[in-house]
Amino acid sequence: MERFPPADLSGEAGPSTVDQPAQTHRLNELEQLVHERSAELTWANERLVAALYERSAAEARADELRKRDSTTGLPNRHALEERVDRAVKLHVERGEPAAIVSVGVAQLAEVRDAHGLAAADEVARLIGNRLEVAVRGSDTVARVGDNEFALLLANLRQSQDAATVARKVFDALAAPVSFGGRALRLAPAVGVAVLPEDATTGDLLLARAAAAMQYAREHGTGLYQFFRPEIAQRSARRLRLEAELTAALERDEFRVYFQPRVRLRDKRVIGAEALLRWDHPERGLLGPETFLDVAEETGLIVPIGARVLAIACLHAGAWPEHLSVAVNLAPREFRGTSIVAVVAGALNEGKLPAHRLQIEVNEAALPRQGENAALDTLAQLAESGVSVVLDQFGAGTTSLAALRRSLIEGIKLDGEFVRGAANSERDGAIVSALAALGKRLDLRVIAAGIESEEQLAFARKAGIAEAQGFLLGRPIEPDDFATCVTERPRKRAKRR
C-alpha cells in the first residue's frame, strides 16, 4: 500500500503558497481594470449606436433631399416616378384609376432669360404653391423639369374626375403672377393621361401625359388635352424626325439656296436671302416647313442655323462687292448673346464684311425671349456693323421699341399682306402705311412674296424700294446664283 509523505508543519511557506493580502490586492486591481474596460466598451457602444442613428438620419435626410426640387421644395421627377409606380401596383390590387396631369409653363424660360435665375425661381415657387392649393392633400405635385410640373392624382373614383382637376389647374394658373414689381400672365399647357386607359406602366403614363401637354402647347387646344392614340403616333414621328435631323447634321445634308432680292427702280439684283433646304436621302429636297418646328423645340436649330450662316457668308464672300446676303434667325438662335459670336465667326471665316450681311429677325417672336434681352442682342449685332431687318414687321410690340432705339436698318413686310395688297383695300392700306412709316424713319423697306405684276406695281406705287418673290427670282443653288449675278452685267453690255 502506497504511503503519502508527512505534511510539513513547520510554518514556512512552500513554493506554491501565495500571500493572501497580495492576492486580494491583485484581484481588486483586476476587477477595477475590468470595470474600466467595461465602462469604455459601454461608452464606445453608446457612441457607435449614436453614430449609426446619426448616419441613418443623415442618409434619410439626403435621400429626402435627392427626391426634392431644391427651388420649390416639391417632389422631383425621381420621387414622382416612385409614387407613380406605387399607384400602378395599387391599381393592380384594387382596380382604382389614377391620372397624371402634366403642366408646361414656357414663360419660366422667358423669365430666366430676361430677368435671371432668382426671378425664375420666385415664379416657379409661386406656380408650385398654386398647384398645391388646386389639388387634394393625397395628390402629389412635383416639379419634373425647369419649365414643367406634374400632378399624380391617386385614388380617383372614376377616370373622368381627372378632367375636373385639370380644369382647376388651368384656372389656378390663369391669374397673373407678380414678381419683382412685375406682373406676368401665364399660358400653361396642360396634358392628361389616365391609368389604365392610356397606359398600364408608370413610365408610359408619364410619357403620354407629357406628349398630351406638348400637343396642347403646339396646337393651343384650350384648357387641357387628354392623351389620344394619334398623339403617340405623332410623338413617334417626331422622335424619328429628331433622330434624322441629328444624322443629317453629321452627314452634312443641309443645303442653302439663294433667292434674289431686287431693287425695284431698275430691277437690279442687290443681294439674296439664304434659304434652308434639307437634302433628305429618301424624301428628296425638303423645305424648312417640314422640319423647322422640331429643330427649334429640340435645340437642333442652333447648330443648323450656325451651319446656314457659315455657308451663306462663305458664298457671299465670293460675290461682287455690291451684293449682300440675308440670313433669318430663328427665335431659339436669338436667345442669349452667343449668336453675336456665331455671326462674327461666320463673317471671319467667309471673309465677308459685316455691312454685307443682313440678319432678319421675326419681330413677333422677340418678346417671348424677353424684350430687354432681345433688344440688347439686336444692339450688339447693329454695333458690329451687321444690317438688322425686322421680318414680318407689324406683328408685335418689340418692333416699336427697336425703332425707338434705332437698332434696325430696315423692315420686311410680310408676303401675305403684300400679295393681298393689289386686290384688298384693307391690305393695301396696311402695306402703304407701313411703307410710309419706314420711309419717314429712313429705313429700307423690303416687300416679300411678290408673285404677280399687279403686286409689283402696287409695291412700286407704295414707295417700296426692294422686293423678292417668285416673280423676281426663285430660290436657286449657290453656283447658279453666282453665275447669274456675274453674267448679267456682260449681257447688258452686249445689248448696248
Query: Is the separation of the CB atoms in 431 and 462 below 8 Å?
Result: yes
114-138 pLDDT tens trace = 788 888 899 999 999 999 998 888 8
Q: Which amino acid is at 334?
A: F
Is beta strand 268-280 parallel, antiparallel or unpaired with respect to 466-467?
unpaired
Say which CATH number the domain at 265 has: 3.20.20.450
Contacts of 74 (CB under 8 A, 6+ apart): 68, 128, 132, 141, 142, 143, 149
The 10 Å Cβ neighbour count of residue 283 is 10
> Is the peptide bond between 196 and the residue preceding it cis, with omega within 30 degrees of 0?
yes
CA angle 56, 59, 64 (to 5 degrees): 125
Q: 306 or 379: whose pLDDT is higher?
A: 306
How much of the chain is in helix, strand and coil states, percent to nearest 5? 55, 20, 30
Q: What letter does residue 95 receive in the DSSP assignment?
A: -
Residues 195 and 247 in one domain: no
Residues 274 and 168 in one domain: no
Query: 217-231, 313-327, 456-470 — which is least confidently predicted?
Result: 217-231
CA angle 154, 157, 162 (to 5 degrees): 65
239-263 pLDDT tens trace = 889 999 999 999 999 999 999 999 9
Q: Is residue 22 part of a domain?
A: no
Q: Is residue 454 part of a domain?
A: yes
- pLDDT of 396 above 70: no
- pLDDT of 232 above 80: yes
- pLDDT of 463 above 50: yes
Residues 203 and 266 in one domain: no
Q: Is residue 328 part of a domain?
A: yes
Contacts of 344 (CB under 8 A, 6+ apart): 384
Residues 319 and 438 in one domain: yes
131-188 pLDDT tens trace = 999 888 889 999 998 899 999 998 788 888 889 999 999 889 988 888 877 888 888 9
Residues 315 and 456 in one domain: yes
What are the backbone angles phi and psi of residue 341, rounded to the nearest 5°?
A: -70, -40
Among candidates 95, 450, 483, which has minimal Cα distance to 267?
450
Measured CA to CA, the distance from residue 169 to residue 126 in angstroms comes to 13
Q: How many domains does the chain have?
A: 2
In the chain, the percentage of residues whose pLDDT exceeds 70 is: 84
Measured CA to CA, the distance from residue 192 to residue 215 in angstroms comes to 11
Q: Which runs of E-coded beta strand occur in 105-241?
A: 140-145, 148-153, 177-179, 182-184, 189-195, 225-226
**Residue 400 belongs to domain spanning:** 241-495
Residues 150 and 213 in one domain: yes
Residues 222 and 251 in one domain: no
Residue 262 DSSP SS3:
strand
What are the backbone angles phi and psi of residue 376, rounded to the nearest 5°?
A: -65, -40
**Average model confidence (pLDDT) for the chain?**
83
Query: Is the separation of the CB atoms in 461 and 421 below 8 Å?
Result: no
Q: Is residue 32 part of a domain?
A: no
Residue 325 DSSP SS3:
strand
Query: 221-230, 252-261, 313-322, 454-463 — which is least confidently predicted?
Result: 221-230
Of 193, 227, 261, the domain-final residue: 227
Of 177, 195, 227, the domain-final residue: 227
Q: Is residue 20 part of a domain?
A: no
Query: Is the separation of the CB atoms in 132 and 142 below 8 Å?
Result: no
Residues 327 and 221 in one domain: no
- Rounded (10°) CA dihedral 153, 189, 377, 275: 130
Q: How confident is the model at residue 41 (pLDDT cuts 50, 70, 90)?
A: confident
Say which CATH number the domain at 148 has: 3.30.70.270
Q: Is residue 171 part of a domain?
A: yes
What are the backbone angles phi and psi of residue 142, rounded to the nearest 5°?
A: -130, 155
- Cell matching residue 149: 410640373
Residues 434 and 354 in one domain: yes
44-84 pLDDT tens trace = 777 777 766 666 665 556 555 577 888 899 999 999 999 99
Residue with cell string 391617386: 154
Residues 247 and 191 in one domain: no
Measured CA to CA, the distance from residue 143 to residue 74 in angstroms comes to 6
Measured CA to CA, the distance from residue 131 to residue 448 in angstroms comes to 46
Q: What confidence score (pLDDT) does residue 493 get?
A: 39
Residues 205 and 289 in one domain: no
Q: Is residue 140 part of a domain?
A: yes
Q: What letter does residue 403 receive in the DSSP assignment?
A: H
> Over the range 169-205, which residues count as b (16 or more CB within 10 Å of their CB) and which as e?
bbebbeeebebeeeebebebbbbbbbbeebbeebeeb
CA distances from 12 to 15, 110, 119, 310 (A): 10, 106, 99, 115
- pLDDT of 347 above 80: yes
Q: How confident is the model at residue 488 (pLDDT cuts 50, 70, 90)?
A: low
Query: Is the separation of the CB atoms in 431 and 461 below 8 Å?
Result: no
Measured CA to CA, the distance from residue 355 to residue 406 in angstroms comes to 16
pTM of the model: 0.66
Residues 136 and 195 in one domain: yes
Q: Is residue 26 part of a domain?
A: no
The whole-number average pLDDT for the span 28-44 is 77
Measured CA to CA, the distance from residue 432 to residue 89 in angstroms comes to 66
